[in-house]
Chains A and B, each alone.
Chain A
Amino acid sequence: MAKKRVPAIEGWFTTGDTPSLLGTRGSESGSYFFPPQIAVSRDPNAVGEDYEPVELSREGSVWSYTTNHYAPPEPYVSPDPFVPYTVVAVELDTEKMVVLGQYEGDPEADGLSVGSRVELVEGILYEDDSTEYTVWMWRKAGA
């Protein structure tokens, strides 16, 4: 039987083949915020403005990236044995903000460098016997 797929966190991204990060946008300033966790606009030039939920751009440019070779402490759920993973910081063109995410793929084989184009996907963060817990990830654009 196929495992259930469940987002590892509710309300931060849409799921499926073309997922998006869910942020908020200030109605006056047009400034963007992610994650959507705190229901306020943090732009000091538009104090008290309304904000609305918004899907963020699904593509961006690599600001930087790194591959971790040691298992992080809890609450990270590491496979056993541990598998190195890549974290990438991505600059979104419209939102003019940098968002972190894990990278799906091999950065070396993909020739990843500062400025490379990447796109958002839904990937498996960890799993147990019955469920795959998913999270947003970035991969090489057009892969």
Chain B
Amino acid sequence: MSAGGHDVAVLGVGMHPWGKWGRNFVEYGVAAARDALSDAGVDWRDIQFVAGGETVRNGYPGYVAAATFTQALGWNGARVASSYAACASGVTALETARAQILAGLVDVALVVGADTTPKGFLAPTAGERPDDPDWLRFRLLGATNPTYFALYARRRIDLYGATTDDFAAVKVKNARHGLTNPYARYRKEFTLDDVRNSPIVSDPLRLLEICATSDGAAAVVLSSVDYARSHAGGSPVRIRAVSTVTPTYPNTVIEMPNFATDSAASAPPPERGFRDSVAAAAYEQAGLGPEDLDLAEVYDLSTALELDWYENIGLCKQGEAERLLRDGQTTHGGSCVVNPSGGLACFGEAVPAQAIAQVCEVTWHLRGQAGERQVEGARCGLTINQGLFGHGSSVILST
């Protein structure tokens, strides 16, 4: 395929502010969708395909999210598909829409994710479910999500000499980044002392270092490059790559919600670990590399996890992330600004919306519309995260 043959255009983006609003998730999704349609200048009735990121905490309407949003926006006959891939749901939906466009089946599509979340830890589905590993890990181990984040964080300390202040510095950076972001839930500066003095949740991680859960919604209008040219003119931001790869056997890193890793007794682990492979697949498809990035939106479920991502996306070698952070390379003025939105530290997670929100943020920077948090001269950005049960999620966008 010729260069650019995989590209689709981002015609419009929209978000509903993150928070704990306590309203029906459909309202947030519709608000984000309307913003994205208006930003795109596309009439809802012209949308041919709707992809929805599912929410599993809002009953049946959440499972059939794409149909739910389509009905709420007013039936227009569009084809629909709903995707669930835990934290990667948004990009799995986006990939479905992109594939429809690249296959030539539709010209213009809407991708929406929205959630209304309960208080506290994300809990497994209720009832007695002894066949469900997600239920069992809580029952038999008390292995909450922060437990897994903390296991990764501890390794950075013991293997690479990371300090808890390094982790805290990620929170301080992201809080500063998100201060003026109108969609962020938390717009407050934090000092190292604030983080040091917050209670320990899962040692070595403290309360201010673990992302909350939020209500929120994000939407994107995608089209073929040809449609974008004839419809909008100019040169819209393009999606250069989407990676939704799964692990390669044996996956030797313990991941939510598993009790154990694969065994490497019969075959050596793959050359690249799973998270590395998510980024590598995106770079390969885009024909770009980490040196091309001006910004990255990475999934900082915990402060320490952001440092892991620096290495996974190739900003530095393994064990060097702390130095990159200390040198200021991942904030404004550095080589690649990481989480200019403020990241999950400022948002809290709205599961099916979050990966789409990452794409919205990168789009604003590439258009020069990110206001006070604008990354100067941004031309290329990457989003990355990982969903429970082996879902990769990464998008590369460029001007």
Q: A residues within 8 Å of B by Cβ?
A: 8-9, 26, 29-35, 37, 42-46, 63-70, 72-77, 85, 87, 89, 94-102, 113-115, 125, 135
**A46 neighbours in B (Cβ, 8 Å):** 266
Question: Does A31 contact B155, Cβ atoms closer than 8 Å?
Answer: no
Given contacts A31-B266, A66-B147, A72-B121, A114 and B154 within 8 Å (CB-CB) = yes
Q: B148-164 toward A: CB 8 Å interface, digit per residue (1/0)?
A: 00111111001100000
Q: How far is the CA of A36 from the CA of B139 in the complex (A)?
A: 17
The listed residue (B142, B155, B261) touching A97 by CB distance below 8 A is B261
**A75 neighbours in B (Cβ, 8 Å):** 124, 128, 135, 138-139
Question: Does B140 contact A72, Cβ atoms closer than 8 Å?
Answer: no
Given contacts A46-B266, A63-B155, A70-B201, A76 and B259 within 8 Å (CB-CB) = no
Question: Does A73 contact B138, Cβ atoms closer than 8 Å?
Answer: yes
The listed residue (A33, A65, A102) touching B141 by CB distance below 8 A is A102
**B99 neighbours in A (Cβ, 8 Å):** none
Say whether B130 faces chain A, with CB atoms less than 8 Å apart: yes
**B259 neighbours in A (Cβ, 8 Å):** 34-35, 99-100
Q: B93-135 toward A: CB 8 Å interface, digit per residue (1/0)?
A: 0000000000000000000000000001101101010110101
Say whether B264 faces chain A, with CB atoms less than 8 Å apart: yes
**B202 neighbours in A (Cβ, 8 Å):** 66-69
Interchain nearest-CB distance for B152 vs A (Å): 7
Question: Does B252 contact A30, Cβ atoms closer than 8 Å?
Answer: no
Question: Does A8 contact B140, Cβ atoms closer than 8 Å?
Answer: yes
Say whether B203 faces chain A, with CB atoms less than 8 Å apart: yes
Question: Does B260 contact A35, Cβ atoms closer than 8 Å?
Answer: yes
Quick one: which of A46, A94, A101 has the most chain B CB within 10 A? A101
The listed residue (A34, A45, A76) touching B249 by CB distance below 8 A is A45
**A67 neighbours in B (Cβ, 8 Å):** 202-203
Say whether B254 faces chain A, with CB atoms less than 8 Å apart: yes
Interchain nearest-CB distance for B151 vs A (Å): 4
**A44 neighbours in B (Cβ, 8 Å):** 249
| Nearest 7 CB-CB pairings of A with B | A66-B150, A73-B123, A114-B158, A31-B266, A32-B263, A96-B264, A29-B266
Quick one: which of A8, A32, A73, A115 has the most chain B CB within 10 A? A73
Say whether B334 faces chain A, with CB atoms less than 8 Å apart: no
Can you list 24 A-B pairs, Cβ within 8 angstroms, ordered by A? A8-B140, A9-B140, A29-B267, A31-B250, A31-B266, A35-B259, A43-B250, A43-B267, A46-B266, A64-B154, A66-B150, A66-B205, A67-B202, A69-B200, A69-B202, A69-B203, A70-B144, A73-B123, A74-B138, A95-B263, A97-B261, A102-B141, A114-B154, A135-B140
Question: Does B140 contact A96, Cβ atoms closer than 8 Å?
Answer: no
Q: B residues within 8 Å of A by Cβ?
A: 120-121, 123-124, 126, 128, 130-131, 133, 135-144, 146-147, 150-155, 158-159, 199-205, 249-250, 252-254, 258-267
Interchain nearest-CB distance for A97 vs B (Å): 4
**B139 neighbours in A (Cβ, 8 Å):** 8, 75-77
Q: How far is the CA of A125 from the CA of B140 in the complex (A)?
A: 7
Q: How far is the CA of A31 from the CA of B268 in the complex (A)?
A: 11
**A66 neighbours in B (Cβ, 8 Å):** 147, 150-151, 153-154, 202-205
The listed residue (B142, B203, B205, B254) touching A76 by CB distance below 8 A is B142
**B264 neighbours in A (Cβ, 8 Å):** 96-97
Interchain nearest-CB distance for A99 vs B (Å): 4
Given contacts A68-B201, A69-B200, A73-B121, A102 and B155 within 8 Å (CB-CB) = no
Q: How far is the CA of A32 from the CA of B254 in the complex (A)?
A: 15
Quick one: which of A30, A42, A97, A113 has the most chain B CB within 10 A? A97
Report the nearest B residue to A113, measured CB to CB. Answer: B158
**A98 neighbours in B (Cβ, 8 Å):** 252-254, 260-261
Q: How far is the CA of A101 from the CA of B137 in the complex (A)?
A: 10
Question: Does B263 contact A100, Cβ atoms closer than 8 Å?
Answer: no
**B254 neighbours in A (Cβ, 8 Å):** 63, 89, 98, 100
Report the nearest B residue to A34, measured CB to CB. Answer: B260
Q: How far is the CA of A96 from the CA of B124 in the complex (A)?
A: 29
Interchain nearest-CB distance for A104 vs B (Å): 13
Question: Does A31 contact B158, Cβ atoms closer than 8 Å?
Answer: no
